Amino acid sequence: MNQHTIPGNVKPGMPVYGSDGELLGPIESISNDGTIRVLTHSVPSMAIARVDATGIYLHVAKAAFAALPPDTRDGATAAEI
């Protein structure tokens, strides 16, 4: 997947899954640079493995995703996958 773009059919509310197939949660928002926000974590588009009819799949498993600290609202300590 191109690290600067995500498909136009990706919308807030779509389910996001880890590489292990486990549900992480829905997309909360999408920034202009293609970064999606899931469970208060910023996920750059390069971390997206694929997008299909069932949702978005990341290159990282649920356990690794859950271990990351959440973003702060101002982005000062934002953790990216």
> Identity (one letter) of the amino acid at 17?
Y
> Identity (one letter) of the amino acid at 62?
K
- The boundaries of the domain holding residue 57 are 15-67
Instruction: Supply the DSSP string of 4-41, one letter for each residue.
Output: T---TT--TT-EEE-TTS-EEEEEEEE-TTS-EEETTE
What token pair was written down for 1? 């997947």
Query: pLDDT tens digits, residue range 15-32?
Result: 999 999 999 999 999 988
Number of domains in the chain: 1
* Phi, psi for 18 (deg, rounded to 5): -80, 175
* Residue stretches of the chain with pLDDT short of 50: 1-4, 75-80
Q: What is the DSSP letter of 75?
A: S
Residue 74 falls inside a structural domain: no
Residue 27 falls inside a structural domain: yes
State the alpha helices, DSSP H only, in the chain: 62-67
Residue 45 falls inside a structural domain: yes
Residue 31 falls inside a structural domain: yes
The pTM (predicted TM-score) of the whole model is 0.78
